[in-house]
Chains A and B, each alone.
Chain A
Amino acid sequence: MPKVKLSEYATNTVKEVCASFNNSEGELINVLHQVQQKLGYLPAEVQELVAKELNMSAAKVYGVVTFYSFFTMVPQGENPISICMGTACYVRGAEQVLDEFKRQLKIEVGETTTDGKFSLSALRCVGACGLAPVVMVGEKVHGRVAPTDVRKIISECKDGCLT
């Protein structure tokens, strides 16, 4: 495993988040949520620090991170693309949309493009079933997406629509 020295910013962020939850072991999932939101991902060194701050073992933290598909140890791209694979989206062709993203970006689910621009993930139901199939790019929601729309969504990002 490559060795990463945590930046002062990352170290402080982790410590602040842990402190805001009173460094309580029971708040692990909430802590991980916020840390991932702020840092983008949860590398081993971050998990070690979380474990230390919450006074629990790194093995347990890693167990939780690998259990929930929401948590990622891979840095997210500048444009994190999530395809909803919930029942409604799935029956309306989400899988074909996902396949098209994979083909065009040349990455699998859970991976990030080498230029760091895009990452791909599948998620379960964003609560917008009326718009199925749904694709999220960062916070922006695209509804009723067809495979033919994929190129447009990607190029919009390249033009820097997402900030």
Chain B
Amino acid sequence: MDKIELTIDNKTVEVSKGTTILEAAKTIGVHIPTLCHMKLHDMGIENKPGGCRVCVVEVEGRRNLAPACVTEALNGMKINTHSMRVVNARRTVTELIISDHPYECLTCAKAGNCELQQLAQDLGIREIHYEGEKSVYREDTSPAIIRDLDKCIMCRRCEMMCNEVQTVGVLSAINRGFQAVVSPPFEQNLDHSVCTYCGQCVAVCPTGALTEVDHTPAVIRALSDPSKTVIVQTAPAVRAALGEAFGLEPGTLVTGKMAAALRRLGFDFVFDTDFAADLTIMEEGTELLGRLSRHLEGDETVKLPILTSCCPAWVNFFEHQFPDLKDIPSSAKSPQQMFGAIAKTYFADKQKIDRKELVVVSIMPCVAKKYECSREEFSVDGNPDVDYALTTRELAALIKLANIDFHVLPDEEFDHPLGESTGAGVIFGATGGVIEAAVRTAYELYTKKSLPRLDFEELRGMEGIREATIDFDGLPIKIGIAHGLGNARKLLEDIQSGKSQFHAIEIMSCPGGCIGGGGQPYHRSNSSILKKRQMAIYSEDKMKILRKSHENPYIIKLYEEFLGKPMSEKAHHLLHTNYFDRSTIFEQED
């Protein structure tokens, strides 16, 4: 590629043609502050409306300051990123943004993680010279996400994630000038829109305008109630990211410390969603093989490909936007809900307690899980299978609240029986992991032979859409994988048009899978963090002695003692669900 040479802060820098000033500066260690700009490298995700003007720099010979994030670096340019004029302009625009922002930093949910707060600190802003009217907008609370638009700075990152990456199309800037806000169509509330609650808007919001619904007060109340038995399950992706909230290097596995912390928080039993992930594989894998053998026998009514159904945002997505495909996804509930269903029947019976005395809390990398556990079909007589879903961030806050020094905690184990899992359960946390876990089990159940290898590198990676063919002892099984709902849409459209033919497809809503979930510690546009979490997940899988779901001794016992066999009537009743056509949002208006 063509190279160009320019000077930034008196240093010469050579970059490829087409590089922005912002990127060029980064290569020589000059970090120009930004606010609206965000970029996840190698994932094709970038927001650069050039709107906030915080990244302005002085270009010699130009009359106006140039926004570094959208200005292309040109040969021979002489750039100053911190001249008096630049710093003054940068402070002025920041002050103007703050002048229309509530001064609630002490009590804001985003305090300490707010990029506007950080910017004000970095620029040394001690006083706001501008006073005037502030824009106000009603607060919107849904089962999972809270919109507090008084704190919105119109960076439009959420809009980019919602429309371009996820193609959900709920959020858009509306009105103009001072009245402009980001809103669902016709200013409806989120729970009256086609929002999937994937939470990617929350993950990228620089301020407290978009946050998750806080379940921690309810969990603290349950933990303080002696009449309740409170148990907890932790999703696979949490252990690969929780450490970041305590300053540990991204990718540090904290499985043992997390179990110890949960025990110290007062949970009566510390269990693992990975156990339920193994259970999911038993059910989903059996369902896949059932559909596959009927298909091979020439049954034309059978629906293929089978689509995974672990991801609640993905379930919302196809219920809203692809209702004609609602018979294709596996009927298996997600691991979170399978866990809840088993906990409040099998485990409650073992403990001889009523399901109403048992509180099930889940720790999830996800915002949509809050909505999922509130879905009506996942409760019995008004008592939900999973009572509360905390995000990884909320768990970190809870640990800090309980004065626990995370760093000195010993590594502890999960409790039995719902805490035992295999490596297959762990990899559910990364894109490609669910289908790899399913392949490990389905292969052995189908061929009745032992797998020659356990690592399916062809299913792993960070590419948005991946395809692979796995040889089931002579039978080629075609597998598709998509992460990010925009990629899922592409795959679905190819299926609808008959362009693609797969036997099985895994879909996760968030970029990178659950490790990049909307409830994880903020990645601050650093995609290397996602890759490190992914590596952590696969390394935990490698460390496990058992790496195939059907070899989990507690799963085998669960079927022997309680469920019978996969897809049995009891398993159907407890572990499977059905989906609804929710394609017309206006019909909810009655």
Contact = CB atoms under 8 A, between A and B. Distances in A.
B323 interface: no
Contact of B171 (A1, A59, A61, A67): A59
B184 interface: yes
A56 to B, nearest CB: 7
Interface stretch (A44-52, A102-110, A134-142, A151-159): A44-52
Given A1-B186, A1-B589, A48-B586, A57 B163 contact: yes
Interface residues of B, number: 19
B589 A60 contact: no
Nearest to A65: B174
Nearest to B176: A67
B175 A3 contact: no
A60 B163 contact: yes
Contact of B174 (A44, A48, A62): A62
A62 B172 contact: yes
A1 B185 CA distance: 12
A63 interface: yes
Contact of B185 (A3, A59, A67): A59
- For A60, A61, A66, A67, which residue has the most chain B Cβ atoms within 10 angstroms? A66
Contacts of B451: none
Interface string B161-198: 01100001111111110000001111010000000000
Contacts of B188: 1
Interface in B184-243: 184-186, 188
Given A1-B188, A57-B163, A57-B185, A45 B586 contact: yes
B127 interface: no
B185 A58 contact: yes
B131 interface: no
A65 B382 CA distance: 42
Contacts of B162: 59
B471 interface: no
A: interface residue count bin: 10 to 19
A3 B585 CA distance: 11
B170 A59 contact: yes
Contacts of B168: 57
Contacts of A1: 186, 188, 586, 589
B176 A59 contact: no
A56 B586 contact: no
A63 B169 CA distance: 11
Nearest to A62: B185
A66 B172 CA distance: 11
A44 B185 contact: yes
B589 A59 contact: no
B42 interface: no
- For A1, A57, A67, which residue has the most chain B Cβ atoms within 10 angstroms? A57
Contacts of A59: 162-163, 169-172, 174, 183-185
Contacts of A48: 185, 586
- For B163, B171, B184, B186, which residue has the most chain A Cβ atoms within 10 angstroms? B186
Contacts of A60: 163, 169, 172
B297 interface: no
A57 B170 contact: yes
A132 to B, nearest CB: 26
Interface string A62-86: 1100110000000000000000000
B589 A66 contact: no
B590 interface: yes
- For B162, B175, B586, B590, which residue has the most chain A Cβ atoms within 10 angstroms? B586
Interface in B144-172: 162-163, 168-172
Given A44-B186, A66-B174, A67-B174, A57 B169 contact: yes
B166 to A, nearest CB: 11
A63 B174 contact: yes
Given A1-B589, A44-B185, A48-B586, A58 B176 contact: no
Given A59-B170, A60-B163, 12 more contacts: A1-B589, A44-B586, A47-B186, A48-B185, A57-B163, A58-B185, A59-B169, A62-B172, A62-B183, A62-B185, A62-B186, A67-B176
6 contacts: A1-B186, A3-B590, A47-B185, A57-B172, A62-B186, A67-B175
Interface of A: 1, 3, 44-45, 47-48, 56-63, 66-67
